[in-house]
Amino acid sequence: MSKKSEIPTEEIDSVAGLLQRVVELYTGNHSVLFRGHQVADWILTPRIARTNFRLRHSASVLKAEKRMLDEFERLSVPYLAGREISSHWDRLALAQHHGLPTRLLDWSANPLVALWFAVAQPPDGESDAAVWAYEAEEENIANLSDDPFTLPRTQIFRPRHHDARIVAQSGWFTVHKYLTANEGRFSALDRIEIHRSELRKFIVPRQYFASIRDDLARCGIQRNALFPDLSGLCGHLLWQFSPLSDETNYDVA
């Protein structure tokens, strides 16, 4: 078995530091996607595939996924305000952005959005965070006439702008293949050899979370901007008036 290629990894400690590296590495490349992880060691796999996603009874992951999406389609109508959600792709994107576990993994075209998701909460114990960069190749973008549940491989999905959160977060997705021949699990992007050369990982040391969070707010990257609804506004106001546990030395703007 051939040895897996190494994913380039480096450390950044500020908003300016990340932006500098993005400019140095990706100027002229407009198809780079970014994703933030609160814990640097997390792998690039969708929520429905993670060990903390538990199933009631003995349903398989695939059956649970289908039933959740069927119920989402049936029950979400009153909340759509006339928006046309006409395909499996649209339903997957909308459900994912509102918290339903799916085979999609969120990415953003904006590195600062990814950085915010990495540091939005205080560190998880002794863990650092990470921002992933992924150079999306045109041939890996899914054809939306295909069925997202039977794709031959993990691909990239650029959603229609039918939801304010997708717009605000410059949202893209990877849609992950279910590996039926490999112990029944979804693929992880950083475990797929053909994608490893397209990935880079920026480690964010935990001691910089609070200062980066504050600087991002000054740049307009904050909860009410990324979640443009009342829950986002209230979450932002709570942060303004009640600093997080790692912000004891910061007078939040």
Residue of 113, 93, 88, 122 whose CA lies nearest to 32:
113
Q: Is the pLDDT of residue 251 over 60?
A: no
CA 224, 227, 228, 229 torsion-angle sign: negative
At 222-240, the pLDDT tens digits run 999 999 999 999 999 999 9
The rounded percent of the chain whose pLDDT value lies above 90 is: 70
Distances (CA, A) of 150 to 155, 182, 184, 185, 238: 11, 16, 14, 14, 42
Q: When comparing pLDDT for 55 and 35, which is higher?
A: 35
Q: What does the pLDDT read at residue 58?
A: 60
Average pLDDT, the chain: 90
Distances (CA, A) of 177 to 50, 126, 151, 186: 14, 32, 6, 6
Contacts of 59 (CB under 8 A, 6+ apart): 67
pLDDT range class, residue 1, cuts 50, 70, 90: very low
At 188-219, the pLDDT tens digits run 999 999 899 999 999 999 999 999 999 999 99
Q: Which residues pair with 135 in a beta bridge?
A: 32
At 42-69, the pLDDT tens digits run 999 999 888 667 777 666 888 888 889 9
